[in-house]
Amino acid sequence: MLARNEIIFKWTLYAAATALCFLLQSFVLQRVTIWGVIPFIYPVIVAVLATLEGPFSGTVFAIAVGVVCDVLLPGVFPCLYTLIFPLAGLCAALISQSWLPAGYLCSLATSAIAFLMTGIAQCLLLMIREKAAWATGISVCLRELAVSAVLIVPVTILFRWVFRRTHLDD
Amino acid sequence: MKKFLREHGIWVLFAAAVIAVALAAMSFFSNTSSPLANVAGIISSPFRNAYTSVATWFNDKQAYYTDIHALEEENAALRRRNAELEAAARQAEKDSEENKRLRELLNLREQRRDLSDFEAAFVTEHTVTNWTSSLTLNKGTAHGVEVNDSVIDETGALVGVVSEVGYNWCSVLTIVDTDTSLGAQVFRTKDLGLATGDFSLMGENRLRLDYLPAGCQLIGGDLVVTSGLGGYFPEELVIGSVEEVKRDDTGSESYAVVVPAVDFNALTEVFIIKSFDIVT
């Protein structure tokens, strides 16, 4: 059990790591297009942290990231990420607790699920607006996952470092 | 020595006088230098050459160092001048591009008197997600920009529509975004339709022209412009040109794939139409 100041310290470090990832997305990844898509780091952050911190903390963190994404990114549905990221975070946490222990493989699997959930949500939104494009949507989603997969390793290293730094007694 | 001079001095003087007279006579009667002077010249010539060579070498070195110093200074000055000229050339190129844009805009203003109020804006960010096609501009409510304002480039081609506005920024959904829908008209045939973004075409920077009347005869390259119907957008802003005509999945209706006139990736400066006169 962490003391209050240790919890504050831990989440400050997580916030700093997340801010670093946001800067990476805005300044670097935004300008890179591979296979017609831009790498997208946010689902990876949500999935990786949830595998490390468990369902409750992972979900709360995912809500925060979702809100920031909805504020920063343009979109038709104003709270898409706020709704999808907590679900993705929860799934990631449950998978890491039940099937795959937190690690690179778990990060890859949970990130893939997070991307898939986001893609399906986007396709559903298109369908609701009578502009269904499932094949293109899934193609974009898979390409997005493929080009973002390389980010899973550095993000996992970064967040695991914070986790280990703040869970010395575990 | 004293003894020698006392005994033979007169003879020495005599011999010297004879030699002097002989030399004088030889130099008077000869066209070349005297043999003695010649011999002396021959002997001293290599030394003189060596001395001259050394002196010339020193002079050259001195001149070289003097010159190189001057050249260095001149080179530095030329570099500075070159940098200034390059900067001036860059500025001139920039000014020329701006001038061209402004001329086109002026021309557009003269052609389109219904577009009364423009706001020039720079594109600060291009598309930020894989699910939308958007631009962020550096003008917002502080400059009178409002949601649903049309955005055009300097040639009058439609870029998109303002979807969100902040104090000093705004987001523009481009005409290929899935959330964009515009009343459109084929310029040649005057057929009306609805230009909408389609996710399947968005990746290729294309949009579709739907609800075309039955039997409309579109050909590749037909210009598509805004219809202006409903008063949401100014009329006759260029959307793009018809690339091909296709049938939808049901096969009952046809639609046209339209190539936008604007290259969204190359956009740096755009113009927001803040108000326009509705032409009836």
* Residue B74 falls inside a structural domain: no
Count: domains in chain B: 1
The verdict on residue B222 lying in a domain is yes
Instruction: Report how many helices (DSSP H) and strands (DSSP E) chain A contains, helices first.
Output: 7, 0
Is any Cβ of chain B less than 8 angstroms from the Cβ of A73?
A: yes
The CATH number of residue B195's host domain is 2.40.10.350
Whole-prediction pTM: 0.68
- B212 part of a folded domain: yes
Which residues face B134 on adjacent strands?
Answer: B173
| Spatial distance between the Cα atoms of B186 and B216, rounded to a whole number of angstroms | 10
CATH numbers and ranges of domains, chain A: 4-164 (1.10.1760.20)
Note down pLDDT in tens along chain A; length 170 residues.
Answer: 567 788 888 889 999 999 999 888 888 888 888 888 889 999 999 999 999 988 898 899 999 999 888 888 877 777 888 999 999 999 999 998 888 887 889 999 999 999 999 999 988 888 887 777 788 888 888 898 899 989 999 999 999 998 888 877 66
B79, part of any domain: no
Q: In chain B, what's the furthest Cα-to-Cα distance?
A: 150
The interface predicted TM-score (ipTM) is 0.80
Chain A residues near residue B129 by CB distance under 8 angstroms: 38, 40, 73-75
Chain B residues in contact with A38 (beta carbon < 8 A): 127-130
- B162 domain residue, yes or no: yes
| pLDDT digits 0-9 by tens, B129-186 | 888 888 888 888 888 888 888 999 888 889 999 988 888 888 899 999 988 888 898 8
Asked whether residue B229 is assigned to any structural domain, the reply reads: yes
Say yes or no: A20 contacts chain B, CB-CB below 8 A: no
Residue B43 inside a domain? The answer is no
Show the 3-state SS of chain B.
CHHHHHHHHHHHHHHHHHHHHHHHHHHHHCCCCCHHHHHHHHHHHHHHHHHHHHHHHHHHHHHHHHHHHHHHHHHHHHHHHHHHHHHHHHHHHHHHHHHHHHHHHHHHHHHCCCEEEEEEEEEEECCCCCCCCEEEECCCHHHCCCCCCEEECCCCEEEEEEEEECCCCEEEEECCCCCCEEEEEECCCCCEEEEEECHHHHCCCCEEEECCCCCCCCCCCCEEEECCHHHCCCCCCEEEEEEEEEECCCCCCEEEEEEECCCHHHCCEEEEEEEECCCC
Residue B2 domain-assigned (yes or no): no
Give residue B211's domain range: 116-276
Residue A123 distance to chain B (closest CA, Å): 9
Q: Report yes or no: A136 at the B interface, CB cutoff 8 Å.
A: yes
